Chains A and B, each alone.
Chain A
Amino acid sequence: MVNLEVNIGSLKLKNPVLTASGTFGYGTEFADLVDLNRLGGFVVKGTTLNHREGNDYPRMAETPMGMLNAVGLQNKGVDYFIEHIYPEIKNIDSKIIVNVSGASVSDYVAVAEKLAPLENIEAIEVNISCPNVKQGGMAFGTTCAGAAEVTRAIRNAYPKTMIVKLSPNVTDITEIARAVEAEGADSVSLINTLLGMAVDVERQKPVLSTVTGGLSGPAVKPVAVRMVWQVSRAVKIPVIGLGGIASGADAMEFILAGASAIQVGTANFFNPRITMEIIDYMEDYCHRHNVKNIYELTGALKL
């Protein structure tokens, strides 16, 4: 028997496979196609203090082996989540992680405080890296001082597992990772989307209503693997790796490079059953490599 269990702080996952925020809805959208109870966990949509309408259409542009999005954190707000969505998903036998966003430090703290009492939510993922909102979002994630400030404030308000999601749109991601580790983050997840842009040459206009947007999908994977490798060597807290994972082998790249768990994002769109395939692959991979516990493979890269 292979043991796929991994720990992220005090959060125990039955396997390292999570779904990425904004790409898996609230899980229920995939319930016909995926056994949600088999997932290590899922990170629900970016949740803010108040309702947000998000950006104007068009919000999406396909690019070679990737896509740009500018959804802009459309969601109905944390109170709606607690009243209407949490009761629907709380009994799924998989860890539910809420992705938290805000325009100000006090917003982030208010959302975290409201989520803290929910019994079946043992962790939050703090998004300090969204490129699609005008205020806040990425602004916090691109300076050490900003990242540290948000992390410190939420740490004081949120006693359970706190994962901080890092932006790749920085000169040195390891500095930001160290800054949030120093302020008490239990884990870091990376990468969020890379800032990108596409132009419609016939109309001579940007494709996205917001001009720029976030790039995701297989195209970003090598950048993400590199950053996971760098960050895992720079911090002691567990790293959650994501960016372009579209197969079991892709997932193992991140684990070997230093990730304790992984998230699958854009690949859910073109292969809704990808998470199940990755879990099967990991089991088989451990068998083939005579490994009892998948956590032994974290950072096992031979240099």
Chain B
Amino acid sequence: MENMVNIFLFGKKYEVPDNLTIMRAMEYAGYQLVRGCGCRNGFCGACATIYRIKGDRELKSCLACQTKVEDNMYIATLPFFPLVKQVYDIEKVKPTEQIMMQLYPEIYACIGCNACTKSCTQELNVMQYIAYAQRGEYEKCAEESFDCVMCGVCSARCPAGISHPQVAMLARRLNGKYLAPKCDHLEDRVREINDGTFKELIEDLMQKPIDQIKELYNTREIEK
């Protein structure tokens, strides 16, 4: 037997089974979702949602596809939040402090209230990654923000008007492109391919009768 709970979708009451996620509960109640539903599995950040449990003062935030309903839950989805995304040319920017000052100067207006961290649906230390960004420590910012799904909930709470996920996105690209160590074996291989090093091997495979390739495949040596 299913246990039923009462939830309030945008203020209206519905009775739903208690083992559903908020997303499934909305569908159970009859909503055909278009907005606010992407991957259905915690990766895309489309389903940011705020809720309050009756009698509780705190307004909580979550991903609707990742959170179970509770009795007396007041739910409102936040399927779009107008973030600021600055455009830049990744080839021309430099991984220095200047770039943040130029593109996202508002991060320096952070008042340290920690509302972003408290609201993060991925339990990230958002205030900390903004602090790293302020100091131009992009590698640390990248690491700290890595699991960000860019849902925008933190930005909805920020009194300084910071678009945290976009700041982190920039930091990660700067880190990936400019700060992470270069990969020699990758560059070597690209060069070898362009030089035609594997041309004959590949051409041979293109012609080889299926039986011979099968033989190759079935007897191939597998790296331990």
Q: Do A and B bind each other?
A: no
Interface residues of B (CB under 8 A from A): none
